[in-house]
Structure 1
Amino acid sequence: MPELPNLDRIDSLIVHELQQDARIPMRDLADRVGVAASTCSDRIGRLQARQVLTGFHAEVDLPALGRSVQAMVFAQIRPLSQPIIDRFRRDALAMPEVMAVFVLAGGDDFLLHVAVPDVARLHTFLVEDLSSRKEVVQFRSSIVFDHSRKRAIENLAGDQ
């Protein structure tokens, strides 16, 4: 089991606040967590060096970008080997329709989060782009009606 990062209360507050708003000015972030801005900046640098913070991202509204249909696509591939898994993951991430790739255990090998302009494009993606791959032996898809996610991971320092 991987070792959990040892986060104190200040580090936990910094991570929590950055998950809420990664563009918060350093001075405001420092005020919220109760340290000097230089201390806050140093702690962020250490959190990045320890790979607790791995990036800062912009959240995008997919329908505003013309991708109003989202689907989850489960795929099985054969032969199941590490090189085939690695190639399929790489190739799937290169497809413009694919937003995320999950490698799974169990009945399905992959879960692809797909975003497309309409159902016709989803159909084309499934029939022409996905099923034409020789390693894909089976797939099934579910259209996403709504999606919610937590903006921040809670209880980072293990506090109750």
Structure 2
Amino acid sequence: MQPADLDVFDLRLLAALQREGRAANAALAERVGLSASQVSRRLAQLERSGLIERYAALLKPEAVGLSVQAFSNVSLERHVEELVHGFEQAVARHAEILECYSVTGEADFVLRIVAPDLKAFADFLTQRLLRIPGVRSVRSSIVLHRIKQTTELPLDRVGTR
């Protein structure tokens, strides 16, 4: 995907949306220096172009009873299309897996997993993740304390037209 052709107002608008996705167009207009109708048109265009993927509420996992978070490095037995595709499909079916990345290095995939407690995490690992066909090994790190987590992209590093 090519980088979007964004001007300074698009970047300001996107930055404001990243901080407060529920802001009204009038409030966004005030923050970025445009009229509410201009903001509305720009938002519609950014959504149509696929630049804005979706809107979401960010929940605190602990507040809903998911107090264990782990990063798991998964290695497959072999790198054949059938095993990789099967693994990716299995990952998509497990709600406990919030993110999955295909990576370089010692592991083939890195997963971010949540669970209510350590027992539930261990059960998920042994009863589900390790039973996916082709999984050779899983090495997990349990999060002790979150230092930084953001969904905001550094738009000040993006060039403008």
TM-score normalised over the length of structure 2: 0.90
Q: What is the aligned residue count?
A: 158
Look up the match of 1:153: 153
SS at match of 2:11: helix
Q: 1:75 corresponds to which letter in structure 2? A: V
2: distance between equivalents of 1:29 and 1:157? 20
* Cα displacement string for residues 32-90 of structure 1 (whole angstroms, at most 9, x for unaligned residues): 11111111011111112222111111101111111100000110113212342232122
Matches within 5 A, 1:83-94: 83-94=82-93
Give the equivalent residue in structure 1 for 2:47: 48
TM-score (norm. length: structure 1):
0.91
Compare 7-16 and 133-142 and name the one that shifted more: 133-142
Match of 2:111 in 1: 112
Task: Tell me the CA shift for residue 123 of structure 1.
Answer: 1.0
Does the 8 A contact of 2:103 with 2:110 survive in 1? yes
**Deviation of the 1:4 alpha carbon:** 1.8
In the aligned structure 2, how far is the partner of 1:14 from the partner of 1:20? 10
Moved over 6 A (4+): none
Over aligned residue pairs, what C-alpha RMSD do you find?
1.6
Taking the aligned partners of 1:29 and 1:83, their CA distance within structure 2 comes to: 47
Residue type of the alignment partner of 2:159: G
In structure 1, the gaps of 5 or more residues are: none
Identity of aligned residues (%): 26
- In structure 1, distance between residues paired with 2:48 and 2:84: 29
In 2, the alpha carbon distance for the partners of 1:49 and 1:83 equals 34
Q: Deviations over 1:106-143 (max 9, x none)?
A: 22111111100111111111112111223100110000
Structure 2 residue ranges without an equivalent (≥5): none
Offset at 1:151?
4.5
